[in-house]
Chain A
Amino acid sequence: MLEISDLRVSYPATEGRVEVVHGVDLRLERGSRVALVGESGSGKSVTARAVLQLDQDAAYSGSIRLDGEELLGMSARRIRSIRGFKVGLVFQDPLTSLNPVMRVGWQIMQPLVIRGVDKKEARRRGVELLERLGVAEAGVRFDDYPHQFSGGMRQRVVIAIAVIAEPELLIADEPTTALDVRVQAQVLELLRDIAEERGLSVLLITHDLGIVAGFAEHVVVMRNGLVVERNDVDTLYASPSHPYTRGLLRAVPKIDGDPAQRLLSVDEIAEETQ
């Protein structure tokens, strides 16, 4: 349903432009969960943000097709109409993605209200969804402001806004990086349940190979603006083929690992394989 081919993204620099994504291909089947993994500067977020062309000063080339429809070169108005309805977005920081002076309920209802759904009906569906996302007394909390919610609860509100208009694709950019480990586990579980219930495709952007193992079916590893490896999740973890992927897997301390086993940095792995 989402097909990115030969995507290149560049930004203005002091002299000319700097290309940060150098020809990325990515496919997402309907209902599948794909993780885009990389360290900072890998271009993973830039690639994801390119789908809805969220960065004003970025220049794009290549092709991004959603349900066969080309998104690159589409008018800003048409792109806005896709956002929320066909593609939902969840970002890392739930505090900056919510409007602090609007009640959360109002924000959750917006995608439906804009679409012409009756306010009463929008509220009913909003409360129901918030309840499904594990917010206790959702009917009461609906009229609270974002600051009255904890970090994990705010991220549930952001997820509610992203999925209420029943998009087909959810782009989640580091959705749990700002959360504590137990809240992270709950939010990931919810995201996965919601995706399965609604047949939603999910593109998860993350630096954390731990959360990928339990969430994604397919994994795409990026480094320096290029895809270095792509595989199904079991193969990638069992037998990573690219030295960089092997490096990433061995650079992270594991909760079930033996502390006596020394971590290897990605550079050391690259040297080892040469």
Chain B
Amino acid sequence: MTVLAVERLTKQFAGRDSPAVNAVSFEVQTGATVGIVGESGSGKSTLARCVAGLIRADSGSVRLNGVEVVGASPREKRIFRRDMQMVFQDPFASLSPRMTVEELVGEGILVHGLEKNSTKRRDLVVSTLEKVGLSAEHLKRYPRSFSGGQRQRIAIARAIAVRPMLLICDEPVSSLDVSVQAQVLNLLRDLHRDLDLSILFIAHDLAVVKYLCESVVVMSDGVAVEYGSREQIFDDPQHAYTQSLLRAVPVPDPSIERARRAARQQ
């Protein structure tokens, strides 16, 4: 089943010559992980924000479970705001410093009326925290007492607490150290597997996208230049831009790097 269908989505910012997102189409199936990869200025974050309804697209269509997001009424928006949750790059900026972990993770459950009984709501928060590797002992603490990786876990718990159909992650690991990055990537993979969660994953790091995503959209100057399965994009890229991106990604192997350098100098 298709969770998300994006068709010819276009967004142009005032005063710019060309659209930030230009007629982009792709789909996310139930339980699939789709990556959007591109360099800075490629439009990947704008695309994610248009999909999430945080920015109003100029034209095109975004359907979440068949319901149109672009130009939706406030009533319809309430529904998809629960069904689509976002995790942002900077867990220092995305969590309110004045809310405890319990309030942060429980807020969506309360707002969307999923559990009105406060004891049961706390149980729900605790079980969500356990899914991301935290526990009841963290309930009363504030974001400031957590590291970057733990904060990103809290942000993920906050997002999945309302049982969304789609999780949109915009560069969720790019501000984290590599060992913490591995933990968060593994967490997203486990959640995807255990909860059958559909994930739209935006990143500039191609190796990270390859690790997590089953299909990939490659963006350049607002255009989706290539869209295919993980195997096709990484093993048999068709577009010259995708090829040039892949050639530039460093490989942590000195002999491979020596061979690449020799090839470049010829």
Q: How far is the CA of A259 from the CA of B254 in the complex (A)?
A: 21
Q: Which residues of B contact A242 (CB under 8 A)?
A: none
Q: Which one of A180, A207, A208 has the highest number of Cβ atoms from chain B below 10 Å of its Cβ?
A: A180
0/1 string, A85-110, CB within 8 A of B gives 1 = 00000000000000000000000000
What 10 A-B pairs are tightest by C-beta distance, nearest first? A214-B257, A210-B250, A266-B179, A253-B211, A185-B248, A251-B182, A180-B39, A263-B182, A39-B177, A253-B207
Identify B204's interface contact among A181, A209, A234, A249, CB under 8 A: A181
Residues from 197 to 215 in B contacting A, C-beta threshold 8 Å: 204-208, 210-212
Identify B207's interface contact among A182, A213, A254, A267, CB under 8 A: A254
A-B pairs with beta carbons under 8 Å apart, 6 shown? A39-B177, A189-B264, A214-B250, A252-B252, A263-B185, A266-B182
Task: Give 7 A-B pairs besides A255-B251, A257-B211 with Cβ atoms closer than 8 angstroms.
Answer: A213-B250, A213-B254, A213-B256, A251-B181, A253-B185, A254-B251, A257-B207
0/1 string, A244-274, CB within 8 A of B gives 1 = 0001110111111101001111110000000
Identify B252's interface contact among A180, A185, A209, A264, CB under 8 A: A209
Q: How far is the CA of A151 from the CA of B264 in the complex (A)?
A: 23
B247 (CB) vs chain A CBs: closest residue? A185
Interface check B245, CB cutoff 8 A: yes
In the complex the two chains form, is B248's CB within 8 Å of A182's CB? yes
In the complex the two chains form, is B186's CB within 8 Å of A262's CB? yes
B250 (CB) vs chain A CBs: closest residue? A210
A262 (CB) vs chain B CBs: closest residue? B186
**CB within 8 Å for A210 and B252 given contacts A181-B39, A251-B182:** yes
In the complex the two chains form, is A253's CB within 8 Å of B210's CB? yes
In the complex the two chains form, is A265's CB within 8 Å of B246's CB? no
Interface check B261, CB cutoff 8 A: yes
**CB within 8 Å for A213 and B264 given contacts A180-B39, A263-B182, A264-B182:** no
Residues from 199 to 240 in A contacting B, C-beta threshold 8 Å: 207-214, 233-234, 237
In the complex the two chains form, is B254's CB within 8 Å of A181's CB? no
Q: Which residues of A contact B178 (CB under 8 A)?
A: 39, 207, 209, 248, 251-252
Q: Which residues of A contact B264 (CB under 8 A)?
A: 189
Interface check A148, CB cutoff 8 A: no
**CB within 8 Å for A263 and B211 given contacts A39-B179, A181-B39, A256-B256:** yes
Q: Which residues of A contact B247 (CB under 8 A)?
A: 185
Q: How far is the CA of A249 from the CA of B258 in the complex (A)?
A: 18
In the complex the two chains form, is B40's CB within 8 Å of A213's CB? no
B149 (CB) vs chain A CBs: closest residue? A265
In the complex the two chains form, is A182's CB within 8 Å of B182's CB? no
Interface check B249, CB cutoff 8 A: yes
Distance (whole angstroms) from the CB of A78 to the closest CB of chain B: 37
Residues from 45 to 71 in A contacting B, C-beta threshold 8 Å: none
Number of A-B contacts (CB under 8 A): 113
Q: Which residues of A contact B212 (CB under 8 A)?
A: 259
B37 (CB) vs chain A CBs: closest residue? A181
Identify B230's interface contact among A251, A259, A267, CB under 8 A: A259
Classify the interface of chain B: helix, strand, loop or mixed: helix
Number of interface residues of B (CB under 8 A): 40
In the complex the two chains form, is B210's CB within 8 Å of A255's CB? yes
**CB within 8 Å for A181 and B249 given contacts A253-B210, A255-B206, A263-B211:** yes
Q: Which one of A213, A214, A255 has the highest number of Cβ atoms from chain B below 10 Å of its Cβ?
A: A255
Q: Which residues of B contact A188 (CB under 8 A)?
A: 250
Interface check B225, CB cutoff 8 A: no
In the complex the two chains form, is A181's CB within 8 Å of B255's CB? no
Q: How far is the CA of A48 from the CA of B261 in the complex (A)?
A: 27
Interface check B17, CB cutoff 8 A: no
Identify A185's interface contact among B177, B204, B250, B253, CB under 8 A: B250
Identify A237's interface contact among B186, B206, B252, CB under 8 A: B252
Q: How far is the CA of A184 from the CA of B248 in the complex (A)?
A: 8
Q: Which residues of B contact A263 (CB under 8 A)?
A: 182, 185-186, 211
Interface check A40, CB cutoff 8 A: yes
In the complex the two chains form, is B254's CB within 8 Å of A214's CB? yes
Q: How far is the CA of A57 from the CA of B5 in the complex (A)?
A: 56
In the complex the two chains form, is A181's CB within 8 Å of B211's CB? no
B185 (CB) vs chain A CBs: closest residue? A263
Residues from 222 to 266 in B contacting A, C-beta threshold 8 Å: 230, 234, 244-258, 260-261, 264
Q: How far is the CA of A262 from the CA of B249 in the complex (A)?
A: 20
